[in-house]
Structure 1
Amino acid sequence: MLLVLIVSSSVGYFLLQGSPSDCSPLGGKAILRSRLTPQKTGGAVTTYALPSPDRFPNGVAVAADGSVWFGEQGVPGLGHLYSNGTLVEYAWPFNYPGRSSSSQTCAEKTAIWTVVLWNGRVWAGDQTGNQLVGLDPATGSVKMIKVNGTEAFPYGLTTAPDGALWFTELFASKIGRVDTAGNLEEYSLPNGKSSVPAEIAFANSTRGYYVDVGGSGQAGGLYQFNPQKFAPVKVGANMTLYSPNSLALGTGGVWVSQHEAASLVFYDLATKAWTTYPTSTVNYVDTTLPYFVRVNG
């Protein structure tokens, strides 16, 4: 089993900066192709530096051919990196507010935290646009699914066994489901406006899980639900979770990252017991803040 944990040593959950309205990392092009030279090779990891100005990459999805899709929050749009170093970047055709001051450099115009391949397109959440955006790589065209409200923040996206796309609405305290025809359904959560759902994972067609970061005096938690009849139930309530913001299904249970407590926890589905694994620190700060946990195998 390979367990992957992504951590940050900086405090702060979301960073969204103002950008000049004329800042265009792709030079005004809808699609930009380039070839990157590896900065570091050897071993299991090859490192590439993205072109300037900053793209602010975030959210990664691996395609069947081994290529990698990722969000580019400074474009905004998506990048597609192949194993030979070829990079294809796609700008979303939307206008984003920015600052006109010449002293401001290019920065994030939106927040893109998850990218998934679904229904023949590459999908991502667009915080500023309050929408899901699906890119057709063959044409560069996009489809939009607007989320209800004005600041829902579509955050964690995942596909379900029935072929639907599920996502969390971080600021709207809801979970959304989009069927293959593009119809949107939204579900309220047990803790109402105190709910801050982050990520969803499915064990099978009748059992899914999501983590709720918690807010407004309400502790976070791990919840189980049946996607065919949405009625979430908190599991492992015998332990208080501190800002649980990511989850991954492992053998016999669920891994959860605790952002505030700087640790991983594992919930054993058979014994209903929790085990805590503190994350390692670095020499320049006394804590680490885990963001994502993933299991391979």
Structure 2
Amino acid sequence: MSAPHAPVPASPVPIPGPVQRERVRRVPVGEAGAGPYSLALGADGAVWCTLVHAGRIGRLGGGGREFTSYALDDPGCRPSVLTSGPDGALWFTRGGDHRVGRVDTGGRSRSYALPTPGCGPYGIAPGPDGALWFTELNGDRIGRVTTDGEVTEFPLPVEGGFPSGIVAGPDEALWFTLNQADAVGRIGLDGTVRLYALPTPGAAPVGITLGADGALWCVEIGAGRVARITTDGEVREFPLPDSGARPHAIALGPDGRCWFTEWASGGFGAIDTEGRVERFGPLAGAGSEPHGLCFAPVEDARETVHAGARPGLYVALEAGEIAVVTGEIAVVEEGPPGTGPSFGRDRRA
């Protein structure tokens, strides 16, 4: 492993436009275009990120003030989504060389080959069994890797579905999105798969998270909607005020709402369990491309994100920065709860 880049103070960058007065700072993370893509809170209290275009893993510590990055063994490995593992390390997918990687909080990394050539690993999440589960965009499979590096793959009952985001549910199973099949899937620890169709054609779901209400929530980048799926397979969709916002990632916030990024608008939003939406931003200028997000401590514990939402919100801007939202932010737009019907269609393997 190459030596890490020396820690450097993360200098704030002024926010243009209507949020200039708000408590938001943008932290440059490496060279322009390095591509911070996914974020996760590490066991060391720092925010870790993938630098997808630079073949590096980054660490933003000091309450969002000090950035360090670590080179991986292949500059073209395209580290994509990462998550905090049960062993205190960060685990991540490598879409460029079709491997799963592990990095400890000291920056030491290794990776594991996957059985299916060209499978395109993407989403990754810890499972209730102490292993890491991941999606394979091109392999039509869900994978499982133990903390010792033992890999198992489970085929899906659909071809070309493009399995994307994945998260552990409340029911001893993993739930995942199928971007090209307009569906959400459930896989049990024994590999049993069930699929649930989303009602909107071209929904193209990507990110998925477990909500405070025990349901699964996913964002539909193709339809500009957020969907809620119960563990019984009942689906309800909530349209966003801007149907072209292209929501990408979603995470549960400490205020009980699900927070999401909007790739097209450059902003982000939050939705409560009743479907009420608030939208904020933009965080930066055109082309900032917000992707992953997470909540983590900020330098001043008295700082807040929004009423009741602590600690700070961190957003990866693929253009080359991490936005740290440390203060209350103005609402750009509000939307009423979705009024669409519920659906409960499923396809079983």
- TM class by shorter chain equals 0.5 to 0.7
% of aligned pairs identical? 24
Give the match for residue 135 of structure 2: 71
CA contact (8 A) 2:228 2:236 kept: yes
Give the match for residue 207 of structure 1: 257
Q: 1:201 to 1:43 in 2, by over 3 A?
A: closer
Distance 2:113 2:127 in 1: 20
Larger deviation, residues 168-177 vs 73-82: 73-82
Q: 1:121 to 1:65 in 2, by over 3 A?
A: closer
Matched, 1:122 2:174: yes
Task: Choose between structure 1 and 2 for higher RCO, CA contacts under 8 A separated by at least 6 residues.
Answer: 2
Give the match for residue 268 of structure 1: 326
User: After superposition, what is the alpha-carbon deviation per residue over 1:80-123, rounded to whole angstroms, capped at 9, x for unaligned?
Assistant: 111333221100122x2xxxxxxxxxxxx342321111122222
Q: 1:52 to 1:131 in 2, by over 3 A?
A: closer
Correspondences of 1:62-211 after superposition (within 5 Å): 62-94=126-158, 96=159, 109-118=160-169, 119-138=171-190, 140-192=191-243, 194-204=244-254, 206-211=256-261
Matched, 1:253 2:303: no
Count of aligned pairs between the two proteins: 225
Distance 1:201 1:85 in 2: 27
SS at match of 1:46: strand
User: After superposition, what is the alpha-carbon deviation per residue over 1:191-250, rounded to whole angstroms, capped at 9, x for unaligned?
Assistant: 12x221112222246433211112xxxx3212133223x222223558557221221112
AA in 1 matched with 2:263: V
CA contact (8 A) 2:266 2:282 kept: no
AA in 1 matched with 2:184: L
CA contact (8 A) 2:143 2:153 kept: yes
Matched, 1:220 2:266: yes
Please list every run of 5 or more consecutive structure 2 residues that lacks an aligned counterpart in the other structure. 1-44, 55-98, 298-310, 331-349
Q: Which of 37, 45, 52 is the aligned partner of 1:8?
A: 52
Give the match for residue 40 of structure 2: none
Distance 1:121 1:248 in 2: 22
CA contact (8 A) 1:77 1:91 kept: yes
Distance 1:238 1:75 in 2: 35
1:70 Cα shift? 0.8
CA contact (8 A) 1:197 1:212 kept: yes
Distance 1:160 1:146 in 2: 19
1:257 Cα shift? 1.1
Q: 1:74 to 1:236 in 2, by over 3 A?
A: closer
CA contact (8 A) 1:205 1:227 kept: no
Please list every run of 5 or more consecutive structure 1 residues that lacks an aligned counterpart in the other structure. 11-35, 97-108, 274-297
AA in 2 matched with 1:262: G
1:173 Cα shift? 0.8
Distance 2:312 2:246 in 1: 22
Give the match for residue 233 of structure 1: 278
Q: Which of 235, 239, 243 is the aligned partner of 2:289?
A: 243
Q: 1:64 to 1:46 in 2, by over 3 A?
A: farther
1:163 Cα shift? 0.5
AA in 2 matched with 1:207: R
Q: 1:197 to 1:47 in 2, by over 3 A?
A: same
CA contact (8 A) 1:161 1:204 kept: no
Give the match for residue 278 of structure 1: none
Please provide the CA RMSD for this pair.
Answer: 2.9
SS at match of 2:248: strand
CA contact (8 A) 1:161 1:205 kept: no
